[in-house]
Chains A and B, each alone.
Chain A
Amino acid sequence: MAWVATALAVGAVLTVAANTELFLVLGERSLNQQLRSASEFQVYLADDASKSQVQGLEQELSSQTGVKSVTYRSKQEALALARQDPSLAKMAQSTNSNPFPASLVVNLRSPSVAPHISRLAAASKATDRNVPASYTPSQANRLSAFLSLARAVVVGIGVAGILLASLIALVLLRSEIRSRRAELRILTLVGTPRFIIRLPLLAEACSVAIAGSIVAALVLAYVGSRVVPPVDNYLPFLQLGNAATSLSVISLATLATSVVALGLCSVFVRLPR
């Protein structure tokens, strides 16, 4: 009965940890997507820009530090991409002409380089006079700072949640072992070798970890399939995406870490002299 209670308590703690981990992974993935998208900087070309002007600008941008690659995207390619983008598809289909300009797609190593590229683009004769680039230097700075802060917050919350859950799980197991202190003392008194005393403790710790991980994995599967999609629908700006791919990895990671942590706790528990 005590084992079941401990396993359920550890399961509850691991559930919190695993779900924190799930939202950490989804948040981190969403941030990475936004970072990738922010790192893809577009320099919009004027419709009347000559081929040599475009090539000159392309070479100049490619030579800048912090620029990974520069590729040319024609008006037709821009239109095709707009048709695939849910936010632009309506506009792309409703017009007979092609309103999407050709552009140079600049892949940046970090969004922090964007202000410099943006200034270069604005100074070039090949770029659109009104909207020379996908974002302005100040927008680029704000986006870069926001993404760094958001990433730090997400990672901080996730790590704190996992540490707290691990700590609680260890305290639970420790109190379970403490409650059996009298039994452990008698076993040492009758000359039972320590490794024989520790074996059942280790088995109990591992079985508690496995049972707790199964509870956590079941709740995690429910949250991943029934909770994340509605949240993603109602709060699309979070861009949580599909959780299915992360579930098995997080479940296995929860199992492995809990077995190792609780197993170590039982191995290093201090036995009476």
Chain B
Amino acid sequence: MPDIAARLQRAKDWLPGGPFGVAGPPGAIQLRDVTAGYGDDPVLTHLNLELDRGEFAYLVGPSGVGKSTLLRILFGTLRPLSGEIAVDGISVHLLKSWQTARIRRRVGCVFQAYELLGHLSALDNVVLPLRMAHPKLRNPEAYATDALELVGLQDKTDVLPGHLSGGEQQRVAVARAIAHQPRVLLADEPTGNLDSDTSGEIMEIFKLLNQLGSTILMATHDEIMLSRYPARTVRLPQMVLEEAS
């Protein structure tokens, strides 16, 4: 397997050069006075956050503080109880259920529970959102293969998720999220099940995506990761903003 430096170098060739590369201004994230939760119990109250285009930020805080909830409302899987949300120019809080596909096709998301389709191979799991986002794209398998190679899974393209380890499934989820080169990438504990070396590789991939213009918001509780890859940090529940040191 080529090392991460070689894979990143190769990715620089295909990531911005694809037919749907991050041309144009990458997206921004804005939350204004957002209250969100489940049922009548708010988990997040009166939240304000602004991430500029092309910014990289961590979302940190103890378990149950609302990191995943915040990512869910940004991705449109949860409607806020009140407030306004804009992601990549789309008013997510106004989207009806049948309109959420719009934002899903423009924003990449790495889910904590991977959310892979068990009856599809790793390659097909990555190809699926590519087909949804770019129906006219010729040979999406090639881009999916590149994305899987980038996360170090070029030998597991035909393997079903059930036959992959937790860490490998997580890397498939990362490949799926970045394969369509999203303007905005949301990641919920994307290195949670990975060893430190593989976590480092994933962070290098995220850095590359960010350098190419993607806005990245990543939930984590890995303080070592924060110190190794410093970036702006949003601490929940107080919403304290810490600039990268």
Which of A's residues lie within 8 Å of B, judged by CB?
183, 185-194, 196, 271-273
Contact = CB atoms under 8 A, between A and B. Distances in A.
A183 B117 contact: yes
B109 A189 contact: yes
Given A183-B117, A185-B115, A190 B77 contact: no
Nearest to B130: A190
Given A189-B109, A273-B77, 6 more contacts: A187-B117, A188-B104, A189-B75, A190-B132, A191-B105, A191-B129
Contacts of B171: none
Nearest to A194: B98
Contacts of B79: 273
Given A273-B76, A273-B77, A273-B79, A188 B100 contact: yes
For chain B, the bracket of interface size reads 20 to 34
Contacts of A192: 101, 128, 132
A273 B78 CA distance: 7
B236 interface: no
A76 B105 CA distance: 88
B176 interface: yes
B245 interface: no
Given A185-B115, A273-B76, A190 B104 contact: yes
A186 B119 CA distance: 12
Contacts of B133: 191
Interface of B: 75-79, 97-98, 100-101, 103-105, 109, 111, 115-117, 128-129, 132-133, 176
Nearest to A196: B132
Nearest 7 pairs of A and B residues by beta carbon: A191-B104, A190-B129, A191-B105, A191-B132, A191-B101, A273-B97, A186-B115
A189 B105 contact: no
24 contacts: A186-B115, A187-B117, A188-B101, A188-B104, A189-B75, A189-B77, A189-B104, A189-B109, A189-B111, A190-B129, A190-B132, A190-B176, A191-B101, A191-B104, A191-B129, A191-B132, A192-B128, A192-B132, A193-B132, A194-B101, A196-B132, A273-B77, A273-B78, A273-B100
